[in-house]
Chains A and B, each alone.
Chain A
Amino acid sequence: MTNELVRARIDQQLPGLLTAHETAYDDMLTVETTRERILELLDFLRTDDELQFHFLTTLCGIHYPENTGRELAVMYQLHNWQKNIRIRVKIFIPVSDPHVPSATALWPAANWMERETYDFYGILFDGHPNLTRILNVEDLDVFPLRKEYKLEDGTRTDKDDRFFGRDGNTGRSFD
């Protein structure tokens, strides 16, 4: 089974569901859909007789502060053990309205993964049985993995990009 066949199968069974697709740098099929239809897609990938992406390998959040209206992303990575093929599914949501339906009904494994994603990025998984912080303390009032929270002192000058021939577009400085 190849990436093309997987994508063709999704398009055939659920036309118009994928809003984007690509073969990522590591040759893994990466598809994108909307949060309204994410559960439909995940459930199809999981239960379809041909695809059988039965195993939820991991799930995590990503923050792109510059993508207006698409600041937060949730990445699901599934694996079909029989045919040994993986797929990455992404959805993008605005940071002002970070609601995503929970996948806990499909995989109990999603429970803590979603709690961790909530803890780090503040993504609200609707329908999650117990969406509370998991690794950080309960009374933390920030979502620490968001890019606006710097790790180091912002006044440092020894890592000035200009000294390293970087124009600010070819990668970020240590912030």
Chain B
Amino acid sequence: MQVQSYFSQLDSLDGELATLNLGPTHPATHGIFQNVLKMNGEKIVSAEPTIGYIHRAFEKLAEHRPFNQITPITDRLNYCSSPINNIGWHMTVEKLAKIEIPKRAQYMRVIMMELARLADHLICNSVIGVDTGALTGFTYMFQERERIYDMYEEVCGTRLTTNVGRIGGMERDFSPAFHKKLQDFLKTFPAKFEEFNSLLERNRIFMDRTIGAGPIDAERAMAYGFTGPNLRACGVDYDVRVMQPYSSYEDFDFIIPVGTQGDTYDRFMVRQEEIRQSLRIINQAYENLPEGAYHADVPDYYLPPKDDVYTKMEALIYHFKIVMGEVPIPKGEVYHAVEGGNGELGFYLISDGGRQPYRLHFRRPCFIYYQAYPEMIKGSMLSDAILTMSSMNVIAGELDA
């Protein structure tokens, strides 16, 4: 007892609490957000997060843009998995305009979205490794992410802010280079991933660092609005892909992994298993990729081929109307949710029949669950708080919108 009280005195500065500014720019937080921590030695007594450092007023911007020009805004929400945001937005407009998407386009979208989820989880998990001191796995997994970005490039021409697909389907069919890259990826990635997995999953140092770090129980997580892998790590199997299947997710056989403790290790493990499940979905979608059109026949919303614009009257008219935002759109309110990299990414769209949304609200999973962070790190060590943050996968773009 004597010894313990001696050390607890040493932990605080003259018996007082120290204030520590973690952020706004700090190499350990992987993004621009600030936490003002009250520290008792290395223990966190309280935390006060400040956010909004990269707020870009997306909801205001969206009220002043035609529907097709909102897609690039969604890129910049969770920029680790832009295709999910893009396609989620397209599906919201398609729900409003009641557009049926051909099966092939739906499967192509599933492949893109699952590649995005895979890339998102891959970065999150390898960064958890980095924050526990294991840099090597990250360098290998980053190469794998590059291969996914190469595939994005084949489908939409860009790598990070993808703007993939269009309202009504995909912008182009999979190219021969894409097929080759995807087949190659599906063949070689699993072995590399399992190698990465073997570095961390049963690694004693890694387990000691992550087990019990930043836990939250299921009830509390639901009250805080958790969704996605962070919720599933607490043992709740809520997944939008299963609850409200979109884009033909009901066609695929996959499981929803859950954890039990809701701590950093469980969040890591849930994401690891989701990567395997994403691979399963991609394999199924690719093997059963239907023949047919890669976009719906909706000239009001889907841009005609450029050759036709130069030579055909109708194509020119439709092109002009779409570019000028003069497409007819029904009035009404629509909510559409997709399972983003971090949980339920929802689009609440109010249309008054105008060129642009009357109101567009993004339900950003990061923004909602990050408010539980002070509670999750209270009483833990500073090093655990860093790990907790990286395992929650808080993406500043999605947080601040």
A residues within 8 Å of B by Cβ?
24-26, 28, 30, 54-58, 60, 62-63, 75, 77, 81, 84, 86, 88, 107-109, 111-113, 116, 120, 133-137, 144-145, 149, 151-152, 164, 170-175
Cross-chain contact A172 with B223 (CB below 8 angstroms): no
Cross-chain contact A75 with B57 (CB below 8 angstroms): no
The one of B57, B224, B325, B400 that contacts A108, using a Cβ cutoff of 8 Å: B224
Task: Please report which residues of chain B, range 336-380, place their CB below 8 angstroms from some CB of chain A when the two chains form the complex.
Answer: 336-337, 344, 346, 348, 350, 352-356, 358-359, 361, 363, 367-368, 370-372
Residues of chain A within 8 A (CB-CB) of B400 are 135
Cross-chain contact A56 with B225 (CB below 8 angstroms): yes
Cross-chain contact B335 with A135 (CB below 8 angstroms): no
B residues within 8 Å of A by Cβ?
51-52, 55, 57, 59-61, 63-64, 95-96, 222-225, 238, 243-244, 324-326, 330-337, 344, 346, 348, 350, 352-356, 358-359, 361, 363, 367-368, 370-372, 400-401
Give complex CA distance A174, B63 in Å: 8
Inter-chain pairs besides A57-B346, A108-B372, 17 sampled, C-beta below 8 Å: A24-B332, A25-B96, A25-B332, A26-B332, A26-B335, A54-B222, A57-B344, A58-B346, A58-B348, A58-B361, A58-B368, A81-B243, A135-B401, A137-B52, A144-B57, A145-B60, A171-B352
Residues of chain B within 8 A (CB-CB) of A77 are 335, 346, 348
Give complex CA distance A27, B367 in Å: 27
Residues of chain B within 8 A (CB-CB) of A112 are 367-368, 370-371
Residues of chain B within 8 A (CB-CB) of A62 are 350, 359
Cross-chain contact B346 with A174 (CB below 8 angstroms): no
The one of A24, A107, A116, A120 that contacts B333, using a Cβ cutoff of 8 Å: A24
Cross-chain contact B324 with A164 (CB below 8 angstroms): yes
Q: How far is the CB of B399 from chain A (nearest CB, A)?
A: 9
> Among B96, B244, B370, B371, which residue has the most Cβ atoms of chain A within 10 A?
B371
Residues of chain A within 8 A (CB-CB) of B55 are 135-136
Cross-chain contact A81 with B238 (CB below 8 angstroms): yes
Residues of chain A within 8 A (CB-CB) of B359 are 60, 62-63
> Among A55, A133, A135, which residue has the most Cβ atoms of chain B within 10 A?
A135
Residues of chain B within 8 A (CB-CB) of A111 are 371
Give complex CA distance A164, B53 in Å: 39
The one of A58, A88, A108, A145 that contacts B371, using a Cβ cutoff of 8 Å: A108
Known: A26-B334, A57-B346. A109 touches B223 (CB 8 A): yes
Residue of B nearest to A84 (CB): B243
The one of B224, B333, B363 that contacts A25, using a Cβ cutoff of 8 Å: B333
Cross-chain contact B335 with A86 (CB below 8 angstroms): yes
Known: A164-B326, A173-B355. A144 touches B60 (CB 8 A): yes
The one of A30, A107, A152, A173 that contacts B223, using a Cβ cutoff of 8 Å: A107
Q: How far is the CB of B167 from chain A (nearest CB, A)?
A: 17
